[in-house]
Amino acid sequence: MRLVTFRDGRELKVGSIVNGRVLDLKGAYDHFSKTAEPSVEHAFKDMKTLLKHLPEAMPVMQELFNGVEGDSDLERRFLKDRDEVQLTAPIPRPSKTMITGPSWKQYIRDGKIPDFIFILKPPTAIIGPGDDIVFPRDPEQIVTEVELAIVVGRPGRYIREEEAWDHIAGFTVFNDVTDYGLYTRRTPPAMIRAKSYDTFAAIGPCITPREQIGDVQDLELVLRLNGEERVRVNTGEMIYPISHFVASISEVMTLQVGDVISTGCPQVVPVEPGDSVEAEIENIGVLRNQFVNWK
């Protein structure tokens, strides 16, 4: 059961993907409110609230699906085919979005592991499935990367690695876009600018809860450009375990529910306006976007 945010008219709603269809969680919960679990009454307000209550909400979501499935009227009202709804970024406005690295074994040189760094992406960089990634007015070299992203479900500071999994709600696909011409100058101002343009952080299409991701250190990541596979890597080639990312960043700042931590990629792919990109991660899904010129 994967978690999504979708647009219903002007309203953003949270849903879950079950058997390829999207369940309107709040709509279904309100319908069954007299018999539904009261402890999750407010859980389906928005994605951050759902993540905060996810452990107790998960069995309720299954019950809601069971109650809707098979009833033609309820399915019509609360259960939609994927092409009937417009998915947005699962967390439309994360309080913090971080990209990290170098975090893959190919960056090790002469047995030395490079310094671990992270850079904050602004909220204006966040877009979702199907949204356009917009070239800035004077780009140097724009590149794209497929990355596994951690979604925080419990706040914390100075989190120990052995406790990190308790703070993870799930995982999503992250398309990290960069003006590589700026980034490779390696000066802090150039690196920050290169990562911070509007639309340079596509996330989605869903969040897979941690209990359903499988072996997170053995996931295939694939990036296709205009339908052609350009990158295929496995998270088993990371330098660090997933717990390291959570613990290291919490040394600097308090992690909050809905924060997104992307874990990097060992390969970048240059792009041009008009290119379409598919970033896919095993057990999560495919995030599709198109690159366009600034208008």
Does 144 share its domain with 262? Answer: yes
Does 232 share its domain with 128? Answer: yes
Q: Which residues contact 66 (CB under 8 A, 6 or more apart)?
A: none
Question: Which of 21, 53, 87 is the last residue in one of the domains?
Answer: 87
pTM, to two decimals: 0.95
* pLDDT tens-digit readout, 177-220: 999 999 999 898 999 999 999 999 999 999 999 999 999 999 99
| Higher pLDDT pick, 114 / 234 | 234
* pLDDT score for 35: 65
CATH for 8: 2.30.30.230
* pLDDT score for 33: 80
* pLDDT score for 151: 98
Does 207 share its domain with 245? Answer: yes
* pLDDT tens-digit readout, 18-68: 988 999 999 999 999 866 666 787 899 999 999 999 999 999 999 999 999
Question: Which of 87, 118, 153 is the last residue in one of the domains?
Answer: 87
Rg (CA), the chain: 19
Does 123 share its domain with 266? Answer: yes
76 in a structural domain: yes
User: In angstroms, rounded to a whole number, what is the distance separating the alpha carbons of residues 90 and 129?
Assistant: 9
* pLDDT score for 40: 84
Does 82 share its domain with 209? Answer: no
Does 107 share its domain with 82? Answer: no
Show the domain range for 14.
2-87
* pLDDT score for 138: 92
Q: Which residues contact 115 (CB under 8 A, 6 or more apart)?
A: none
Does 151 share its domain with 65? Answer: no
92 in a structural domain: no
Does 73 share its domain with 158? Answer: no
Which of 12-26, 34-48, 225-239, 275-289 shows the lowest per-residue confidence on average (mean pLDDT)? Answer: 34-48
What is the total count of domains within the chain?
2
Helix (H) or strand (E) holding 169: strand 168-179
CATH for 163: 3.90.850.10
| Higher pLDDT pick, 8 / 2 | 2
Question: Stretch 264-269: mean pLDDT, rounded?
Answer: 96
Does 214 share its domain with 142? Answer: yes
Does 76 share its domain with 47? Answer: yes
Question: Which of 87, 109, 125 is the last residue in one of the domains?
Answer: 87
Q: What angle do CA 30, 34, 40 make, to 5 degrees?
A: 60
Does 259 share its domain with 143? Answer: yes
Residue 103 pLDDT > 70, yes or no?
Answer: yes
Which of 22-26, 112-116, 234-238 shows the lowest per-residue confidence on average (mean pLDDT)? Answer: 112-116
8 in a structural domain: yes
Does 161 share its domain with 58? Answer: no
| pLDDT class of 74 with cuts at 50, 70, 90 | very high
50 in a structural domain: yes
